[in-house]
Structure 1
Amino acid sequence: MGIVEQLHRARQAYQQGDWATAGTALSAVPDEQMDADDLQRVATTAFMLGRTSRSAEAFQRAFDAAAAAGDVDRALRCGSLAARVYVTSGEPTVAAGCLARARRLADEQDEPLAGHGYLMLHDVDRRRRHGDVEGAYEAALDVAHLANRFHDSVLFALSLAMQGRLLIRLSRIREGVDLLDEAMVYLGSGEVDLIFAGEVYCMLVEGCQEVTDLARAAAWTAQLSAWCDRQPGLVMFTGQSAVHRAQIMRLRGAYDDASAELDVAEHRYRAVGNVDAVAAVHRERGDLHRIRGDLAAARGCYRLARELGLDPQPGAALLIRDEGDDQAAAAAVRRAVGQDPDPLAQARLLPTAVEVLIGADALDEAAEAAARLTQLVDDFGCDGLAASSAWADAQVAWARGDPSAALQAGRQAQRSWAALGAVYESAMAQALCAVAVHALGDVDSGREELAQACANLTAIGALPAAARARALLEPPPRPDGLTAREVEVLALVAEGLGNAEIADRLVLSDRTVARHLSNIFAKIDVGSRTAAAAYAYEHRLVTRG
């Protein structure tokens, strides 16, 4: 096949998003036979195939060709893209050099061009990385103004997505999500170049996940997946797509499928050298192992995430809880919540904090965490966070001994989670509702509903959660051979009652109470009522007020 035919084949494959065919055809054509358009196609194709070094070099060649031909606008775009690809491949110094060269060309122009806007995107990123979120937002507005001036829909869509993410960081959640919606319109219309479309898709999905807008995250993940599937040979963005699919599959209770998607994501991320993303995969995989009861595997995954610089909270705190150390779990979650006051981090951590703190008998702290979560719901207005808040309120009410309030909040959580397709969370909320129904006197309905919740948890492989739920209506095991009556007596001792008061409460004689205490002291090997009370609290035979 001749050069002309190869170029025709390459251009046709490029237009169709068939990156494997385009890459093969373009590799057979010498650079000197290509114009600036073709060199840009080479660069974009290499990027989509995950060949970032080749892509960056090709964008630089396209910059040179466009500049030599007097096409300054194209040159600025290619220079900006070369820098972005070098950043992606972990070469910030080379990226800075590319950017400086492009900016020098930009400074030589008498009037701004649309290409100036693509260079300005780097200023947005730089300000964001350095914590100047307000400055980054203002810079993104400047990009939007330039995009409007030149009717550049690609640049405008990018600026919208950036503005939306930055407004979310500034706790202007509703405004930010509205802009993400608007950016999605541009993606749907096909007006965004493929190399930028993947970036915008990922920004939109990640923004929705940040604010726990699970319905949008699921819908946009499906669109991102379909976009990836339409492009044979695509490597770039497929790792992100696989992670997002895994998160949605985990929500649906499809744990085997989620695990398979994480394997794909890790392979793709390693292929393009994205270490931060590999760490996130380890954290997600650790959460899956923990939910399914493989605590050793979960601990290993969380360790790998930490080694790559990612704190695997809040899952790591739940793992410590599941390993039986409630106080250490509470310490871990307190540290995580206290370390990052950012509302987005708090929204991610507080639901777990409530659960762990209740388990550590820190009920007042748990209630405070639930109240903060409620405030975040008012600020965010997102479905997943509202469900988490209702679930937190239900747990606090139950811990406080108010089954009626627990049932009301629990039903709200159950309905909300079910509407989002969250099988695990919905079943856990149903289990709490079941024990509340039982506590309110409807014993048969409570037991029937609990059995249903446990069956749902078992069906998806969440066996530890099923066991915890089943135990809600089972009497706790009695340690050291204590009888049921001895446990009752010991609990009342822990409450501070004397022998006569215990006798009145249990309708026993003083002599019988004394005999029970003698047996209790011998069985648990203590010599005082104070030590016996401490034992009762330690073994959860009585709840602290």
Structure 2
Amino acid sequence: MTAETGIDQGRSAFREHRWTDAFENFRDADLRGGLPAPDLDRLAVSEILTGNITAGLDTLTRAHEEYLVVGDVVGAARCAAWMGMELMNVGEPARAGGWFARGQRLADELAEPDAVQGFLLVPVGLGKLYSGDPAGALETFSQAAEYGRNFQDKDLSALALLGTGQATLMLGHPDEGLRMFDEVMVAVTAGEVSAIPSGIIYCAVIGNCHLAFDLERALQWTVALDRWCNARPDMVAFSGQCQSHRAEIFRLHGAWAEAMEAAAAAQGRSTRGDPQALYGGFYQQGEVQRLTGALDAADGSYREAARSGYEPQPGLALLLLARGEAQQAQVMLRRAAGVADVATRRNLLPALVEIELAASDLEAARRGADELESFARECPMPMVRAVADQAAGAVRLAEGDPAGASAALRHAWKLWLELGVPYEAARCRILTGRACRALGDEPSALMDFEAAHAEFLELGAAPAAAGAASLMREGADDGAKSPLSPRETEVLRLVASGEGNRAIAADLYLSEKTVARHISNIFLKLGLSSRAAATRYAFEHGLAE
């Protein structure tokens, strides 16, 4: 095959999004006789998308130099801009800054305005966005958008609109920001935007939808991203971020085994060419581990997530709370919320209210709940309303207003059910049960506790199930229903007598595997972690001879 044939086949594969074929054909043509600058550019994109980031950056450098050789300053400046953005993506800000400076110097040499000058504004806007200046970022992205319109550059227009939406969201205007995300996604899903900007936009929009508590939008765009990635099976870039978004959706909807699988897939892709998946892959894994009671494993996952440069919050603070370190959790999350932009702070508020209540700072909890209520009035989406009502109910309960708490909590519970978020729905049932108990309605309280306990057991949320079981026992009389089945009670009695699994199996005509499963269920339902603790429980509750 001649170099010319390889170039033609590479261009064809590139147009059809067959990145591996494009890479192989361009590489072979390059070895046979070299590539012109635009095809070096295409080879670099193909390498980056298939996970060969180092090779892609080297090729992009060659493309930049080739553009300079042939006198194409615009092409060289555009390569410099993309080099900077890719280096930022892999965590090399110093090298990225050098390439941005080179691109800007070349753009300044142009006799006439060009779209590349708008591209070089995008990293400037991102710098302002992530340094806490969303107003400055909004102005910069608006300037970039003007270049996109003037030069009819769809990639630039889309990236500028994405940045404008992010800045608008961070300034505390979620409805307006979300409308901008919908608009930019129209261009992406219509195929108007090239591959790398499309991937950037997909992942950023989904992440910001979660930040704005818009679960329905996040779900819709995650499904769209999944389809987009599946249509490009050899694409590594962005596929890991897709898996981390899937992990978050699975976790919220109670499919925790599937969430762990998706998180593991994201972690794998993060080392194969999608480094931005590192945070989400480990953070979502840590969240499931925390909720299931694997606290040491969760701590390790959060630490891995932190290697990305992003704080693993509010998960890490909630982990401290689960370990009984309420004061430290309070200090940690107050600090994180105090330096966060408006959108990120709102995302931290539900956990902050929970921690303030655990730390017995009722005034601070009330301020957090009021802030969520203000957000819900401004942006009355179901998930925002649910977190605001849940926080309000928890605070009212602590303030001694169980009747007011019950009304807010019932509404929050209904919204969580409609959203398909079972863990939070069950947490609302626990709070509602406590309100009923405070009002003297013990039968209703027990029904709420039992329903929450069953849901926690189904999810595998061991700490929450143990808490529900404890509440059930608090109000139970001697004849009240035990959380254990008759068979589990029988197994517990034999455990307390000192028998091992083999002896218990022989006594009850069961397999050792079945006995082990019963003991695991007993530990989960009662919040126990050892046979000694189970024995103590059995004697305390009159179950041992």
**What TM-score do the two structures reach when normalised by structure 1?**
0.80
The aligned residue for residue 370 of structure 1 is 369
- 1:51-108 residue CA offsets vs partner (Å, 9 max, x unmatched): 2222223223333444555555444333322232233334444434433443343233
- 1:113-165 residue CA offsets vs partner (Å, 9 max, x unmatched): 22222222232233334444322221111111111112222211111001111
The aligned residue for residue 466 of structure 2 is 467
Whole-Å separation in 1 of the counterparts to 2:299 and 2:85: 35
Whole-Å separation in 2 of the counterparts to 1:22 and 1:263: 29
The aligned residue for residue 420 of structure 1 is 419
Whole-Å separation in 1 of the counterparts to 2:457 and 2:13: 48
1:120-159 to 2 correspondence within 5 Å? 120-159=121-160
Residue identity in the other structure for 1:293: G
Residue identity in the other structure for 2:403: S
Whole-Å separation in 2 of the counterparts to 1:97 and 1:320: 41
Whole-Å separation in 2 of the counterparts to 1:426 and 1:401: 22
Whole-Å separation in 1 of the counterparts to 2:307 and 2:179: 37
How far is 1:345 from its partner?
A: 3.3
**Secondary structure, aligned partner of 1:361:** coil
Unaligned runs of 5+ in 1: 478-545
1:429-444 to 2 correspondence within 5 Å? 429-437=428-436, 440=439, 443-444=442-443
Whole-Å separation in 1 of the counterparts to 2:390 and 2:163: 32
Whole-Å separation in 1 of the counterparts to 2:312 and 2:102: 40
Q: Which moved more, 1:262-271 or 1:194-203?
A: 262-271
Contact 2:333 2:352 in 1 (8 A): yes
**Secondary structure, aligned partner of 1:367:** helix
Contact 2:266 2:280 in 1 (8 A): no
The aligned residue for residue 27 of structure 2 is 27
- 1:433-453 residue CA offsets vs partner (Å, 9 max, x unmatched): 344456556654543343233
Whole-Å separation in 1 of the counterparts to 2:45 and 2:309: 31
Residue identity in the other structure for 2:300: G
The aligned residue for residue 242 of structure 1 is 243
The aligned residue for residue 360 of structure 1 is 359
**Secondary structure, aligned partner of 1:474:** helix
Contact 1:450 1:469 in 2 (8 A): yes
Residue identity in the other structure for 2:13: A
How far is 1:411 from its partner?
A: 1.7
1:11-26 to 2 correspondence within 5 Å? 11-26=11-26
The aligned residue for residue 454 of structure 1 is 453
1:507-518 to 2 correspondence within 5 Å? none
Whole-Å separation in 2 of the counterparts to 1:435 and 1:448: 11
Q: Which moved more, 1:424-433 or 1:238-247?
A: 424-433
Whole-Å separation in 1 of the counterparts to 2:80 and 2:309: 31
Residue identity in the other structure for 2:45: T
How far is 1:194 from its partner?
A: 0.7
Larger Rg: 1
**Secondary structure, aligned partner of 1:112:** coil
**Secondary structure, aligned partner of 1:232:** coil
Q: Does 1:37 align with 2:58?
A: no
- 1:413-450 residue CA offsets vs partner (Å, 9 max, x unmatched): 11222222212111221333344456556654543343
How far is 1:454 from its partner?
A: 2.0
Contact 1:259 1:288 in 2 (8 A): yes
The aligned residue for residue 286 of structure 1 is 286
| Alpha-carbon spacing, 1:446–1:284, altered in 2? closer, same or farther (3 Å) | same
Whole-Å separation in 1 of the counterparts to 2:320 and 2:86: 40
1:84-123 to 2 correspondence within 5 Å? 84-123=85-124
The aligned residue for residue 516 of structure 2 is none
Residue identity in the other structure for 2:460: G
Whole-Å separation in 2 of the counterparts to 1:208 and 1:245: 13
| Alpha-carbon spacing, 1:50–1:404, altered in 2? closer, same or farther (3 Å) | same
Whole-Å separation in 2 of the counterparts to 1:82 and 1:171: 32
**Secondary structure, aligned partner of 2:360:** coil
Whole-Å separation in 2 of the counterparts to 1:443 and 1:83: 63
How far is 1:332 from its partner?
A: 4.0
Residue identity in the other structure for 1:79: A
The aligned residue for residue 258 of structure 1 is 259
Contact 1:16 1:231 in 2 (8 A): no
| Alpha-carbon spacing, 1:9–1:209, altered in 2? closer, same or farther (3 Å) | same
The aligned residue for residue 345 of structure 1 is 344
How far is 1:471 from its partner?
A: 2.9
| Alpha-carbon spacing, 1:117–1:312, altered in 2? closer, same or farther (3 Å) | closer
**Secondary structure, aligned partner of 2:267:** helix
The aligned residue for residue 387 of structure 2 is 388
The aligned residue for residue 233 of structure 1 is 234
Contact 1:211 1:380 in 2 (8 A): no
- 1:5-32 residue CA offsets vs partner (Å, 9 max, x unmatched): 4334323332222222222222211264
How far is 1:367 from its partner?
A: 1.9
1:506-545 to 2 correspondence within 5 Å? none
Contact 1:211 1:382 in 2 (8 A): no
The aligned residue for residue 316 of structure 1 is 316
How far is 1:476 from its partner?
A: 7.5
The aligned residue for residue 79 of structure 1 is 80
- 1:501-521 residue CA offsets vs partner (Å, 9 max, x unmatched): xxxxxxxxxxxxxxxxxxxxx
Contact 2:43 2:59 in 1 (8 A): yes
Contact 1:56 1:81 in 2 (8 A): no
| Alpha-carbon spacing, 1:324–1:136, altered in 2? closer, same or farther (3 Å) | closer
- 1:310-336 residue CA offsets vs partner (Å, 9 max, x unmatched): 443322332233223444444444444
| Alpha-carbon spacing, 1:57–1:150, altered in 2? closer, same or farther (3 Å) | same
Unaligned runs of 5+ in 2: 477-545
How far is 1:344 from its partner?
A: 2.5
**Secondary structure, aligned partner of 2:29:** coil
**Secondary structure, aligned partner of 1:291:** helix
- 1:462-509 residue CA offsets vs partner (Å, 9 max, x unmatched): 1221222333343189xxxxxxxxxxxxxxxxxxxxxxxxxxxxxxxx
Residue identity in the other structure for 1:170: L
Contact 2:365 2:395 in 1 (8 A): yes
Contact 2:77 2:102 in 1 (8 A): no
The aligned residue for residue 7 of structure 2 is 7
Residue identity in the other structure for 1:259: M
Q: Does 1:62 align with 2:43?
A: no
Contact 1:397 1:403 in 2 (8 A): yes
| Alpha-carbon spacing, 1:229–1:30, altered in 2? closer, same or farther (3 Å) | same
Contact 2:88 2:96 in 1 (8 A): yes
Contact 2:37 2:66 in 1 (8 A): yes
Whole-Å separation in 2 of the counterparts to 1:121 and 1:328: 38
Q: Sequence identity, in percent?
A: 33
Q: Which moved more, 1:413-422 or 1:375-384?
A: 375-384
| Alpha-carbon spacing, 1:99–1:369, altered in 2? closer, same or farther (3 Å) | closer
| Alpha-carbon spacing, 1:97–1:320, altered in 2? closer, same or farther (3 Å) | closer
Whole-Å separation in 2 of the counterparts to 1:254 and 1:148: 44
| Alpha-carbon spacing, 1:248–1:367, altered in 2? closer, same or farther (3 Å) | same
1:154-169 to 2 correspondence within 5 Å? 154-169=155-170
Residue identity in the other structure for 2:364: E
**Secondary structure, aligned partner of 1:171:** coil
- 1:143-201 residue CA offsets vs partner (Å, 9 max, x unmatched): 11111112222211111001111112222332222211111111121100011100111
| Alpha-carbon spacing, 1:293–1:117, altered in 2? closer, same or farther (3 Å) | same
Number of residue-to-residue matches in the alignment: 476
| Alpha-carbon spacing, 1:74–1:372, altered in 2? closer, same or farther (3 Å) | same
Q: Which moved more, 1:262-271 or 1:325-334?
A: 325-334
Q: Which moved more, 1:451-460 or 1:257-266?
A: 451-460
| Alpha-carbon spacing, 1:299–1:183, altered in 2? closer, same or farther (3 Å) | same
| Alpha-carbon spacing, 1:326–1:43, altered in 2? closer, same or farther (3 Å) | closer
Whole-Å separation in 1 of the counterparts to 2:159 and 2:297: 39
The aligned residue for residue 224 of structure 1 is 225
